[in-house]
Amino acid sequence: MKPMSVTFLASACGAQLLGKKDATVTDVKIDSREAGEGDLFVCVIGDINDGHDYVQGAYDNGCRIFLMSRAENAARLLSKDPKCTVILANDTQTAFRDMAKTYLDQFFVRRIAITGSVGKTSTRTYTDAVLSSRFNTKSSQKNLNTHLGLCLTCFRADDDTRVMVFEMGMDRSGEIAEYVDWIRPETAVITNIGITHLERLGSRDAIADAKFEIVKYFGPENLLIYNADSDYLNEEEIIRRTGGNFRRYSVGTGEDCDMQLLNVYTERAGGIRFTLKTKDIALDYAMPVLGEHNAIDAALAVATGLSMGVPMSLAARALEGVKANPRRMNAVKLGGVTVIDDTYNASPVSMNAALDVMDQIRAERKIAVLADMLELGEMEEQGHLEVGRRIAASSVDVLFAIGPRAKAYADCASVNENIKIYYAEDLEELEPEINRMLLTGDAVLIKGSNITGVAGLAQRIREKLSWER
């Protein structure tokens, strides 16, 4: 972040400036535990927590600059320490957005937005790597792809930044439209249209419409890059839903794609290789990540780079050094056991992709710990049965199915007599058996929706194996 005066930030959001008026902000935080000297702590009021309740913690860490909306809290802080600065707004989330927009608009940066039902974080990571090979690029971090995360991303820009890559998540209609209203990307990438959040949006048509909000403000100068292998992403559908008054670039396995993905395979060492072909060139790529499904995400990144003048050969070198994102097909070998943590979230598409990886890796025994998939709406039963049938056809030796919905995994997988199956509604019931079972030479895949608690299980398994080693 470029250091900013509190007067600039207060003016950006039309807020009242109280206390010390000559302070300078050097970073912005929404977590009081991370806020320190020179930081602006944003007191976000959420469904569960109110950031105003954590002002004291931020103050104890050295923070003296605060964005607040509760006048009584501001008065209490300033009576204790008049040298603090308070930017007092009607609503901290709206003020934070206005600050972020005004801050970013200072800089001449090209803006790229990425969305999709699955794969958007990987695509963002790969796009960042490709563009960073030629430009000073900043992008969303971790899984910060909603309102607060996008605001924080804006504050990563500085005078030297040339490109910003925004990952946009959503779980309701109109959400992405709100983001692009103030971010105004020049290029958008859609990874696919799946069934994640079907429970809230009601249908795949509604999900598609919500994703296509990313091109709401596009004109002839703008570009949409899309995965043409996704059934809702084709010329006819895009034009029907959006009018298509913008440039389009298709990426996929079809011969008519602007960039064709070919020859995807897994190397013995665990990475992937593939070929990308345009009308001008065909080039081989290698990446040190698990999962052939990552090839399409990488191809979208290469296409984005190409649209901005990054040669495909330079993109290939950049992708050779990428690393797996935390909790996304992240593999580590501990105590002779390969632990594959894919616990960020789960859908039938990502579950099946993870099982594909299990089929491709080499291990003396393959263990799958699979929990419920949530937010599938009317596709819930069908989605779990689909994954269960995929398990039955896989090379998995042991299945731990966790959660009421995951019983479908166990029932479907039981047709394969070679799979040893354990089922329980609660993780706590099976965790001791999972720990007892792991032996040198095993590979264990851990996956499920966030709320199921499997992320904690993956962490505990890593800690246990590290300690035993």
Q: For 379-427, what is each residue's pLDDT tens digit?
A: 999 999 999 999 999 999 999 999 999 999 999 999 999 999 999 999 9
360: nearest Cα among 441, 266, 262: 266
- Distance, in Å, from the CA atom of 227 to the CA atom of 221, rounded to the nearest integer, reads 20
For 411, other C-beta atoms within 10 Å of its C-beta total 16
- Distance, in Å, from the CA atom of 358 to the CA atom of 380, rounded to the nearest integer, reads 23
pLDDT per residue as tens digits for the range 35-49: 999 999 999 998 889
At 98 the pLDDT is 98
Q: What is the pTM of this model?
A: 0.86
pLDDT grade for 324, boundaries at 50, 70 and 90: confident
Structure tokens at 35: 């806020």
Q: What is the mean pLDDT of residues 181-194?
A: 96
Mean confidence (pLDDT) of the chain: 94
pLDDT grade for 7, boundaries at 50, 70 and 90: very high
Torsion of CA 332, 141, 215, 449, to 10 degrees: 50
At 469 the pLDDT is 52
Q: Looking at 79-88, 163-172, 197-206, 454-463, which range is the least confident one? A: 197-206
Q: Does residue 251 contact residue 228 with C-beta atoms inside 8 Å?
A: yes
With a cut of 70, say whether residue 129 has pLDDT above it.
yes
User: Percentage of the chain with pLDDT > 90?
Assistant: 85
The alpha carbon of 274 is separated from its chain's Cα centroid by a whole number of angstroms, namely 23
At 468 the pLDDT is 64
Structure tokens at 284: 């081989």
At 437 the pLDDT is 94
**Cβ neighbourhood burial of 302 (10 Å; 0-12, 13-18, 19+):** buried
**Cβ neighbourhood burial of 372 (10 Å; 0-12, 13-18, 19+):** buried
Structure tokens at 353: 């992709």
pLDDT per residue as tens digits for the range 240-259: 999 999 999 999 999 999 99
pLDDT per residue as tens digits for the range 149-175: 999 999 999 999 999 999 999 989 999
pLDDT grade for 345, boundaries at 50, 70 and 90: confident
For the chain, list the domains and their CATH numbers: 4-90 (3.40.1390.10), 107-319 (3.40.1190.10), 330-468 (3.90.190.20)
Sheet holding 282-287, edge to edge: 137-139, 163-167, 110-115, 187-190, 223-227, 247-252, 259-266, 272-277, 282-287
